[in-house]
């Protein structure tokens, strides 16, 4: 359900998209292309897009670099969320989460269940905050990327969405750091 408030201005968000795959290149990366197109169509900015192999350290390096970049507000990864030996994206990123977003996985799986039934349990889709950057870990199928964007992320990254959205809380994601920095008792 999308409840909009047209009197609020649209505020573009800066995204980076990482496809995790041993076999894809940008030219044949349908999932990454799906996310890039939807980000653009929504009026946001695609700041960076890359492909990394199914390797924990390489995934961490790319995502950590993006999360340290003040020019990137959100990272979406696609691929590597299953159970095979090479599916390591959640394993790479969940230990880096400062805060987990349990509700994303639950809502994503409910939407996915409506489309693919019980096969949704084969995905370890997850999300959280790394520093002050939102990170979403999606399956590697274009359909899963469409479902996550169209039914969850599109509204949550639209400042006009009511009753609440990520954009309105983004300025407060680091308030614990500001509070600690201003403490003169240390």
Per-chain mean pLDDT for the chain: 92
If you average pLDDT over residues 75-86, what whole number do you get? 96
pLDDT tier at 178, thresholds 50, 70, 90 = low
Q: What is the DSSP string of 46-114?
A: EEEEEEE-S-HHHHHHHHHHHHH-TT--EEEEES--SSSTT--HHHHHGGG-SEE-HHHHHHHHHHHHH
CATH number among 3.40.50.10610, 3.90.330.10, 3.40.980.10, 3.40.120.10, domain 3-181: 3.40.980.10
pLDDT at 169: 93
Position 186 pLDDT exceeds 70: no
Residue 170 contacts residue 163 (beta carbons within 8 Å): no
> Average pLDDT, stretch 8-16?
96
What percentage of the chain has pLDDT greater than the value 70? 91
Q: Residue 174's pLDDT is what?
A: 82
Summarised one tens digit per residue, pLDDT across range 98-133 is: 999 999 999 999 999 999 999 999 999 999 999 999
pLDDT recorded at residue 115: 94
**Global pTM value:** 0.92
Looking at the predicted structure, is the pLDDT value of residue 183 above 60?
A: no
> Would you state the pLDDT for residue 185?
31
Record the tokens describing residue 177, joined without a space: 């750091």
């Amino acid at each position: 359900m999308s409840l909009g408030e047209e009197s609020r201005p649209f505020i573009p968000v800066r995204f980076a998209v990482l496809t995790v795959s041993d076999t894809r290149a940008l030219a044949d990366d349908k999932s990454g292309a799906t996310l890039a197109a939807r980000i653009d169509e929504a009026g946001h900015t695609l700041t960076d897009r890359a492909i990394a192999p199914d390797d924990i350290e390489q995934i961490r390096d790319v995502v950590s670099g993006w999360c340290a970049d003040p020019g990137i507000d959100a990272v979406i990864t696609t691929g590597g969320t299953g159970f095979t030996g090479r599916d390591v994206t959640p394993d790479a990123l969940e230990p880096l989460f400062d805060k987990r977003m349990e509700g994303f996985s639950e809502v994503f799986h409910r939407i996915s269940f409506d489309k693919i039934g019980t096969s949704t349990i084969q995905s370890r889709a997850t999300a959280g905050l790394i520093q002050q950057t939102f990170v979403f870990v999606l399956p590697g199928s274009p359909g899963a990327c469409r479902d996550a964007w169209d039914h969850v992320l599109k509204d949550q990254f639209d400042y006009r969405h009511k009753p609440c959205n990520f954009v309105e809380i983004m300025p407060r994601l680091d308030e614990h750091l500001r509070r600690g920095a201003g403490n003169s008792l240390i």
